[in-house]
A and B are shown apart, each in its own frame.
Chain A
């Protein structure tokens, strides 16, 4: 059995990126994710990889685009205001169908907000950039999953030639927890699109400009949607806790889910049948599974470290079968277990 070690969230992401075969990292300093570039600044060059501190978040994501086009596994990491700056090129990466991993250790906003953990980037992770496109979004709830999801993000990103976002938060980034490091990834896929010099073959072009309305851009967008439908069919991840007989279901992801889980235990101890539904992929959102659950549930409560973002997807998913309530804290405040318990008790 592999040994458990103690690691800080940010460092676990850095180590997992190495294990996934990341060959090029570009980033810009922003709290609370700075330990990731600090970790990789020595570890990546040791392994012959590229580490470069960019002039800006915009510079970093465009360097990622270059490295992805060059045909290697590549990553950038940031926190909320930095994620906003990257949105322009996130759209270009999607239009170009280039794979890459972006880790966003979310902090509070709007504006400069503060540097405490938050979940208020759900919208900009799941509905980012201009144009019709999707990115895969994974939401880890502990340091073990931060590492596991970082590796999974690289694999999904390559499998579908899409951006994969790991959506952590400032608390997960900074907390130290025991984890078992995942196994290193041995192989990376063939990249028939990679720019390697056109020696002995036709030139390859990576471009998102599609000037002819019907046959190029409209057709391309339909192709992208077909790919997204595949992802939706194959890659939905979620977790449930005591939902089989639950009258009331809490819906929460990431750190909020850990808090909500304890609330479920407390409610069960007081004889109330509560359960937890935890989306792990925020896109594709586990809508079908949540809809099925809504048919045998009296009420749902979305718990978030935001003023209510994921709750919109919960409401869309349950199609009016059940009332969906919301409880959220922001500014670095965490949802309180007692407040969740009190809210659910009020439904009785």
Chain B
């Protein structure tokens, strides 16, 4: 009998602090599986954001550092510039990456810093209790938009991949989702490709992952409500797409 599933060896086998139904657990596992397959965990340095994933380094057998809110890619820049042979992963949420950290994000991308950016977009500030995020959908109810996001007042949700895709140097840009098994598998492929490119010393790789936050969306984590909301509300506005893959272009 062959083993078809095991807990990723690259991860610390500890309970996570995430809420039931949260996207981060799934994304962490996918990262762990990719680290196993590529045998890179001992060569990886994890940069944590401020937000729900602030403790991300606890879950991987990799060196890790916490960054101030929004500054993860600047901290990651300092590390990757010094350790050119290491794989640096910046793991961030939407408030961190696209509100307070917009400048750090765009400039790290524009310089083509050698790092993997895992961007988990759940359209809300989770850790602070469900306030409006830069990616909060129009009319979405949050604790600071109790009547729904009014785009006349607060603008429309920002599309991260599209912004990054306007720059010359990023190497790989893809938006994925984890609302069903097919898409979870596709997300894993994207994460793996991003890490493979880092292993080869290629440039800036940006993987956006649409995910659920049933707690702050006020949805039942045991039903499919939150998963369906990703599929029906987020995916049409944030198209799932490979925006750029310089590796393919080079190979062709």
| CB contact under 8 A between A55 and B61, given known A66-B74, A74-B78, A195-B45 | no
Task: Please state if B81 and A206 are interface contacts (CB–CB under 8 Å).
Answer: no
Give Cα distance in the complex from A56 to B60, angstroms: 31
B42-99 contacts to A (CB < 8 Å): 42-45, 47-48, 54-55, 57-58, 60-68, 71, 74-83, 86
Determine the residue in chain B with the shortest Cβ distance to A51: B81
Task: Please state if A197 and B42 are interface contacts (CB–CB under 8 Å).
Answer: yes
Residues of B within 8 A of A204 (CB): 63-64
Instruction: Please count how many residues in chain B sit with their CB below 8 Å of the partner chain's CB atoms.
Output: 36
Instruction: Please count how many residues in chain A sit with their CB below 8 Å of the partner chain's CB atoms.
Output: 40
How many residue pairs, one in A and one in B, have C-beta atoms under 8 Å apart? 133
Task: Please state if B77 and A63 are interface contacts (CB–CB under 8 Å).
Answer: yes
Give Cα distance in the complex from A68 to B65, angstroms: 11
Task: Please state if B61 and A198 are interface contacts (CB–CB under 8 Å).
Answer: yes
Which of B48, B57, B81 has the most CB atoms of chain A within a 10 A radius of its CB?
B81
Give Cα distance in the complex from A134 to B75, angstroms: 22
* Residue B104 interfacial (CB < 8 Å): yes
B167 to chain A, nearest CB (A): 13
Which of B58, B61, B63, B78 has the most CB atoms of chain A within a 10 A radius of its CB?
B78
Contact among A59, A69, A203 with B104 in the assembled complex (CB-CB below 8 Å): A59
Task: Please state if B65 and A69 are interface contacts (CB–CB under 8 Å).
Answer: yes
| CB contact under 8 A between A62 and B63, given known A52-B81, A70-B82, A205-B57 | no
Give Cα distance in the complex from A60 to B82, angstroms: 14
Task: Please state if B78 and A26 are interface contacts (CB–CB under 8 Å).
Answer: yes
Task: Please state if A62 and B67 are interface contacts (CB–CB under 8 Å).
Answer: yes
* Residue A38 interfacial (CB < 8 Å): no
Task: Please state if A66 and B75 are interface contacts (CB–CB under 8 Å).
Answer: yes
> Which residue numbers of B lie inside 8 Å of A, CB to CB?
41-45, 47-48, 54-55, 57-58, 60-68, 71, 74-83, 86, 103-104, 106-107
Interface contacts beyond A71-B82, A203-B61: sample of 6 additional A-B pairs, CB < 8 Å, sorted by A: A63-B75, A65-B67, A66-B65, A197-B44, A205-B65, A209-B55
